[in-house]
Structure 1
């Protein structure tokens, strides 16, 4: 069980260093249209997560797996972070009473099993070791006047400050990429040590612009994929912020996960639906339908995919986490 964490620990490693410049924008590159994507058959493992009787999740906002295959569920209730074993057995809860979870938004693990927590309410991204000790914090908590002054502009001063960040991805070299999503409409890059390198993006719908960059992942070849939620697309960049491609969707791009291994695929969580996509932007299939009953999905705030057949889904507004198993073939699901 994690002990109460002090807010002051968050701000010891805040950074404010010179900016190296924004990434360039490339020409619009859109994958060619193909035949309609198949509906993927699936089933949900009902009651997979064995919750104690005294714990009830609230808004389901994050899901991630560590190297042991343990599943971490992030919610906005009194027990913000819940850890489960590979069989769904409850292990521990963390974050009770901690201000770090003021408005929890996402949780991720890097290759070294460090845990990254994005707190959109405090405008910070916190790095924990595998033993849950804080070793780095990016961003800083903002005073109320900042929101009042810059609310209309949807931006804040200072390149190393965030305005409601949404997600993070860690590259092979330890560089950290943060979607500074609700307020600043950009991606921010930091070194392993927490020094600001650069940022790119502003509010808009052109290539390299964003309207709520909500999720981010990185592949084996160091390509970055950003869920540009309100623009209904995924954008692809290199690690210097150069635009490479965009993938238009027929729904909001809420969340992303990418499978491990040599042949990676991406799952995109939307509203009531999940897209399975190749790294070339081709839609390999979709599954799900809109609803709050078991077996249906609402706004998929976060998604995790330890392999190509298993997907964990955070249904934000039905306060529910699901383990989804894709069945063989591409026949329409009965759900």
Structure 2
């Protein structure tokens, strides 16, 4: 049967939608995707909510070539990234711990203590999303962290997260330098810091998802500006002088580094509930979903 080609365009950006790009392991049940990152070796690393296959590695053709991480007994993976040495950071937000792994899955270290939560006032017995409003302070690391990022200048930054309203800055060796945030909508405060990316100007873009905005800071953690009415911003990827934002409302929004939205690529039937975004050196996009079919697919740049 001839394959139907679907082309999506937004501004000067054009993509071919490839819903069937990912070839998952046979008999894999839960394929919910919680994080996506390209490795320098060209492989795409994907964190999932599967107990048996929490981290899957795909080649450029979408074949899953290996999996690892089951022995870590994740409760819920969140926000996988690749650092400057080609190693992997992945959060387990429900266990409030972050794992550092090499590209084959060998454990290099952890940050945080599994099952130990900092005192932000967060009450996990309150139903979602009302639990987010039980936070009363920005606490020390960690309370349900969502992403650990190593910025190009070497420092580590963590969005923290579901049970905290904080961002933490660390040295490359893991020494805490600063915590900032606190509950609210004012500049410098968060409701749910869900993801973080760095741009080529040395700034940090933070998805403040439940405040429906993206906040931008310098590398020291000083507030620069924010993008309001950003949909339901879940994740970011920086490439070629642009920031790509999955907005949770059925679109990928593309911003220039002046924080102006230059394009929006939308296909609500497929893009609804997008949680994660990544890309490769050719500008192809990879989108991950928590719910529904086709939980990992490609937008091939044309």
1:285-325 deviations in whole A, cap 9, x for unaligned?
0112323xxxx112111100224731100011115101112
Aligned equivalent of 1:289:
267
Aligned equivalent of 1:168:
148
Q: 1:126 to 1:155 in 2, by over 3 A?
A: farther
CA shift, 1:129, in A, is 2.4
Q: 1:246 to 1:307 in 2, by over 3 A?
A: farther
Matching of residue 221 in structure 1 with residue 195 in structure 2: no
1:135-181 deviations in whole A, cap 9, x for unaligned?
2311222359979984464368962x311111121123421100001
Specify which of 118, 132, 145 is matched with residue 91 of structure 2: 118
Specify which of 42, 56, 65 is matched with residue 82 of structure 1: 56
Specify which of 165, 177, 191 is matched with residue 197 of structure 1: 177
Q: 1:147 to 1:284 in 2, by over 3 A?
A: closer
TM-score when normalising by structure 1: 0.77
Q: For 1:117, what is the secondary structure of its paired residue? A: strand
Mark the runs of 5 or more structure 2 residues left unpaired by the alignment: 1-9, 125-130
Aligned equivalent of 1:27:
none
Aligned equivalent of 2:25:
52
CA shift, 1:50, in A, is 2.0
Specify which of 237, 242, 267 is matched with residue 217 of structure 2: 237
- What is the RMSD computed on CA atoms of the aligned residues? 2.5
Aligned equivalent of 1:154:
135
Does the CA contact (< 8 Å) of 1:154 and 1:183 recur in 2? yes
Q: For 1:225, what is the secondary structure of its paired residue? A: strand
Pick the structure with greater CA Rg. Answer: 1
Aligned equivalent of 2:242:
265
Specify which of 293, 296, 299 is matched with residue 321 of structure 1: 296
1:98-139 deviations in whole A, cap 9, x for unaligned?
32x211011100121010011101111111123432223112
TM-score when normalising by structure 2: 0.85
Bigger drift between 243-252 and 112-121 goes to 243-252
Does the CA contact (< 8 Å) of 1:156 and 1:162 recur in 2? no
From the two aligned structures, give the one with the greater strand fraction.
Answer: 2
RCO higher in structure (CA 8 A, sep ≥6): 1
Mark the runs of 5 or more structure 1 residues left unpaired by the alignment: 1-36, 328-335
Aligned equivalent of 2:128:
none
Aligned equivalent of 1:331:
none
Aligned equivalent of 1:128:
101
Does the CA contact (< 8 Å) of 1:215 and 1:226 recur in 2? yes
Does the CA contact (< 8 Å) of 2:37 and 2:80 recur in 1? yes
Matching of residue 311 in structure 1 with residue 278 in structure 2: no
Specify which of 272, 276, 290 is matched with residue 298 of structure 1: 272
The whole-number CA distance in structure 2 between the counterparts of 1:168 and 1:143 is 18
The whole-number CA distance in structure 2 between the counterparts of 1:149 and 1:279 is 34
Matching of residue 275 in structure 1 with residue 248 in structure 2: no
Count of aligned residue pairs for this structure pair = 282
Does the CA contact (< 8 Å) of 2:193 and 2:207 recur in 1? yes
Aligned equivalent of 2:157:
177
